Structure 1
Amino acid sequence: MAVSPSVTIYPRIVLATCCLSLLLVMMDVTVVNVVLPSIRAEMHGSFSTLQWVVDAYTLMVASLMLLVGSLADRFGRRRMFLLGIGLFCGGSALCGLARSVDMLVMARAVQGIGGSMLNPVALSILTSVYVEPRARAQAIGTWGATSGVALALGPIVGGVLVHWVGWQAVFWVNVPIGLIAIALTLRFVPESLGGTKRGIDAPGQLLAIVALAMMTSGLIEAHNYGWASPTIFGFLGFGFLSIVAFVLVEQRAATPLIDLRFFRAWPFSGAIVIAVLAFAIFSAFLFLNTLYLQGVRGLPALQAGLCTLPFAFGSMLCAPLSGRLTGRYGARLPLVLSSAGFVLSAILLTRLDTTTPVGMLLLSYGLCGCGFGMCNAPITNSAISGMPRAQAGVAAAIASTSRQVGALLGIALGGALSAGSVRADGVQWSTFAQATHVVWWCMIAAALGIAVLGMVSTGIRARKSGQDVAALLDSR
């Protein structure tokens, strides 16, 4: 990879700048969920519009993340990073200015376009600046730990800003942070290009966006139109056809968006499905419990944010432990432990009602955080395990994209499954807790799926399939 010599390199400042971008994106995850009830109260948005406030952002990130990596390698990572921060901050400002739910959803989509350019490009920048393996590992570890800090800060920052200023402030706060990141990038981050410039798979990219948008629209709007509605049938049917077309196009593309040969490796395929399941659990859990705490229990935003801290702390404590276990024993043990955390959390939530003891809620949130913290390291490890070094980055990028797809589907499915409490005049909070029970049972099933896939995708036959795919990729 080529690094521009025009900028004096200060690795620690580059690391701090990349961490700022991660702080922006990850804090946004928990902040937005905390302010959803305030947005609903002020803008009188429906339940589905609350889902779109979250998923408009995630849809853009999930759809564009792979494309952004290719564009950054081709046109410059620093340039793409600056564009991403600018779009994210611009979208944040538009969110703060929004006077309708529709405008807010569109502004969130702009935020998502910017967000898709930040994390993958920041990681590429770090790998180009930190060339010594040990220093690179430490830098990436510090960068990754920032996500845990951001998850912990998000609910508190969101609660404080909503309580003292208003929900718009959670978006405005991104602007000064982003401006600092832009100034640091212009002064200290060197330009770099990828060693091999991949072609742009425009048909594949378009089909991926259409498929995700159609499937998400069908799931979110189902309770408004009815599952038997021609509109919902059209959304889901067109989404399915787009998926089929995507597979056919990728099989014939000279430089496919996703090399489908990767999926012949059981460890890789298992990691992708596990990522979707784990992040679907995470996003549905956070979305529904935030609404429960404020809508059903009547807690103000700050107290609701503080109640979610056990999740963040559980994730922060278990993430480094998962990395050590994965390095020493492989992916199987941390994936089984992740599954156990999710299952125990969901079992407690299947008894959720309007008077559930706070202690039981906090325990459930902490267990879910532990399950979430345990899963990330083995997902990445399994995705790149056995892959040729030249393909490891692409495999990791696909795994990152699958996380976003899981988060996207988690909000859509979580809302669809708990829609029994939604009426034309709004959410019926008296029945909301009971309506979420089906989601927690699905969470148990998904968590058990993580354990099964963790066992199957790490066995001898699975490793052999990975070696076969690596040999195939190396030979071409």
Structure 2
Amino acid sequence: MSNTRKAQNTIGTFIVNAYPAVPGQEKPGRNQFIRNLCLAAICFGFFMVILDTTVVDVALPGLQRQFGASIAELQWVVDGYMLVYAGLLLTAGALGDRLGNKRIFLIGLVLFTCASALCGIAPDMSLLQFARVAQGLGAALQVPASLALLNHTFPDARERDRAIGIWGAVAGIAAGAGPVIGGLLINVLGWRSIFFLNVPLGLAGFLLTWRFVPTVPGLPQRGFDPGAQVAGIIALGLLTLASIQGNAWGWNSLPILGALAGFIVAALLFLLIERSSTNPILPLHFFASPTFSAATTIGLLLNFAFYAQLFLVSIFFQQIWGYSALITGLALLPEGGVIAISSALSGKVTARTGPRLPMVIGLCIGGFGFWLMMLINSNTAYLLLCPMLIAIGFGISFTMPAMTTAVVSSVPRERSGIASAVLNTSRQVGEVLGVALLGSLIDVHRAFMTGMHVALGIAGGAFLLGAVLSFCFVQRA
């Protein structure tokens, strides 16, 4: 027996024996404890995935100094991860439904953890970029499977809503804490430490998942059209590439126009293949549900606005107010700090009222937070900015768990993997589009503040549009 298996069995035996079952009368607390371990296991992997979308940004100057990297090389340390992650989400969701979500989650967790270690020991930029691509593949395998596993582990609707609230809180904490954790680790231990951090987290997540997360049988009869898979990967990959490189290469340049044209062709081909398939990977009839269609659209709007704001405000803090990377991360804490509380609160409210009410409330508060931020300038006191950051952080985190519940509850449970993949693909596309399009406004307008104010106005409008869609189309309960 391997050392890993011995350790896994030892940990599992200790925890299970701590909550022994009485023959014929199983303790209710024991079941809840095991489900909480399942939730923790799933959240370990999800935390790492979200953390690595933001933590790397503060390491870029150190990478440039050590390797003499160009700006283009640094961009692909970030973009290589994002491109693979976004491009393969749909495929990963279909794989989970077909082969079993626990199996796919574990494969993704192992791949992500090993790729993180490889990032940490990378001797040059080429290997680091390759390892980041491998991280993106591991992330794509984990995220749809994690939500599908939650859906199966918590069959009771109220418990599931609360679990999704915690899952969303973990995502918010990871996104908000990324710059802070990165800044602290880099200042103390160097840039390699931000990747080595994932190794113990990944190992703990693997052991807990293997021992406690229930196995959900795959459905081999589910469709896995190779043609549709290839078309979907190409479409998402080209759209992400165009969004990432549009500002650098020029939106009117031949490569970007070609990528956008290729996206349109590949997306149409994907829809044609799926429409004619008797067993598609993505049943298009899901979109006949107003709740499913509205919630996935809101997912795009949510990330479009939030991550553009995070990008712009980070630049504002450093270029206009002269903050360091670490101080910038700390200055964003009011936004990230409220996320954990409001995500958990959203889960409880959703369990009582259904997803519509928390979505409308969160999107309205967040939208007004964006619009109030249009009033700031280089002379604004930081304390006046804090309530705006809190409003935006509350808005996204109060909305996201309810939005996730709306999506997974609108499809059959056995298809929750692909439903989760659709939602996360929509969110990921929204993120890259928001940073690319709204981020470009600070270049279009010679005055940085003018460009940022226009971008924040659009971001607020996106949130309020989402509130209207929620009120009109998302189910009440």
TM-score tier (shorter):
0.7 to 0.9
Q: Distance in 2 between matches of 1:59 and 1:171?
A: 19
Q: CA deviation at 1:337?
A: 2.2
Q: Which residue in 2 is equivalent to 1:469?
A: none
Q: Which residue in 2 is equivalent to 1:175?
A: 199
Q: Distance in 1 between matches of 2:281 and 2:63?
A: 37
Q: Which residue in 2 is equivalent to 1:319?
A: 343
Q: Which residue in 1 is equivalent to 2:250?
A: 226
Q: CA deviation at 1:443?
A: 0.6
**Do structure 1's residue 255 and structure 2's residue 244 form an aligned pair?**
no
Q: Which residue in 2 is equivalent to 1:471?
A: none
The 8 Å contact of residues 220 and 413 in structure 1, kept in 2 or not, is answered as: no
Overall identity of the aligned pairs, in %: 36
Note the 1:64-463 alignment, pairs <5 A.
64-98=88-122, 104-126=128-150, 142-185=166-209, 191-194=215-218, 197-384=221-408, 387-388=411-412, 391=415, 394-420=418-444, 432-458=448-474
The 8 Å contact of residues 216 and 412 in structure 1, kept in 2 or not, is answered as: no
For residues 61 and 231 of structure 1, do their structure 2 counterparts lie closer, same or farther at Cα, with a shift above 3 Å needed? closer
Say which SS state the counterpart of residue 110 (structure 2) adopts: helix
The 8 Å contact of residues 86 and 240 in structure 2, kept in 1 or not, is answered as: no
The one-letter code of the counterpart of 2:85 is: V
Q: Distance in 2 between matches of 1:322 and 1:210?
A: 36
| TM-score, with length taken from structure 1 | 0.81
Q: Distance in 2 between matches of 1:420 and 1:22?
A: 36
Once superposed, what is the RMSD of the aligned Cα atoms?
A: 3.4
For residues 14 and 101 of structure 1, do their structure 2 counterparts lie closer, same or farther at Cα, with a shift above 3 Å needed? same
Q: Deviations over 1:168-203 (max 9, x none)?
A: 321221123223333444555565422564231222
| TM-score, with length taken from structure 2 | 0.81
Q: Distance in 1 between matches of 2:368 and 2:161?
A: 33
The 8 Å contact of residues 155 and 309 in structure 1, kept in 2 or not, is answered as: no
For residues 226 and 273 of structure 1, do their structure 2 counterparts lie closer, same or farther at Cα, with a shift above 3 Å needed? same
Q: CA deviation at 1:113?
A: 0.6
Q: Distance in 2 between matches of 1:44 and 1:357?
A: 37
The one-letter code of the counterpart of 1:310 is: P
Q: Bigger CA drift: 389-398 or 374-383?
A: 389-398
Say which SS state the counterpart of residue 255 (structure 1) adopts: coil
Q: Which residue in 2 is equivalent to 1:29?
A: 53
For residues 314 and 13 of structure 1, do their structure 2 counterparts lie closer, same or farther at Cα, with a shift above 3 Å needed? closer
Say which SS state the counterpart of residue 199 (structure 1) adopts: coil
Q: Distance in 2 between matches of 1:78 and 1:390?
A: 13
The 8 Å contact of residues 144 and 420 in structure 2, kept in 1 or not, is answered as: no
The 8 Å contact of residues 350 and 402 in structure 2, kept in 1 or not, is answered as: yes
The 8 Å contact of residues 108 and 137 in structure 2, kept in 1 or not, is answered as: yes
For residues 240 and 386 of structure 1, do their structure 2 counterparts lie closer, same or farther at Cα, with a shift above 3 Å needed? closer
Q: Deviations over 1:133-187 (max 9, x none)?
A: 7766665555444334434543332121122223332122112322333344455
Q: Deviations over 1:419-454 (max 9, x none)?
A: 348xxxxxxxx9544433332122122122112212
For residues 368 and 198 of structure 1, do their structure 2 counterparts lie closer, same or farther at Cα, with a shift above 3 Å needed? same
The one-letter code of the counterpart of 2:141 is: M
Q: CA deviation at 1:276?
A: 0.4
Q: What is the aligned length?
A: 448
Q: Deviations over 1:11-33 (max 9, x none)?
A: 35444322321221232234234
Q: Distance in 2 between matches of 1:122 and 1:63?
A: 18
Q: Distance in 2 between matches of 1:103 and 1:343?
A: 41
Unmatched segments (≥5 aa) in structure 1? 1-5, 422-429, 464-476
Q: Distance in 2 between matches of 1:156 and 1:406?
A: 24
Say which SS state the counterpart of residue 178 (structure 1) adopts: helix
Q: Which residue in 2 is equivalent to 1:472?
A: none
Q: CA deviation at 1:349?
A: 3.2
The 8 Å contact of residues 296 and 433 in structure 1, kept in 2 or not, is answered as: no
For residues 109 and 413 of structure 1, do their structure 2 counterparts lie closer, same or farther at Cα, with a shift above 3 Å needed? farther
The one-letter code of the counterpart of 1:244 is: L
Q: Distance in 2 between matches of 1:345 and 1:38?
A: 34
The 8 Å contact of residues 152 and 413 in structure 2, kept in 1 or not, is answered as: no
Say which SS state the counterpart of residue 193 (structure 1) adopts: coil
For residues 133 and 245 of structure 1, do their structure 2 counterparts lie closer, same or farther at Cα, with a shift above 3 Å needed? closer
The one-letter code of the counterpart of 1:248 is: L
The 8 Å contact of residues 267 and 385 in structure 1, kept in 2 or not, is answered as: no
The 8 Å contact of residues 231 and 266 in structure 2, kept in 1 or not, is answered as: yes
For residues 353 and 209 of structure 1, do their structure 2 counterparts lie closer, same or farther at Cα, with a shift above 3 Å needed? farther
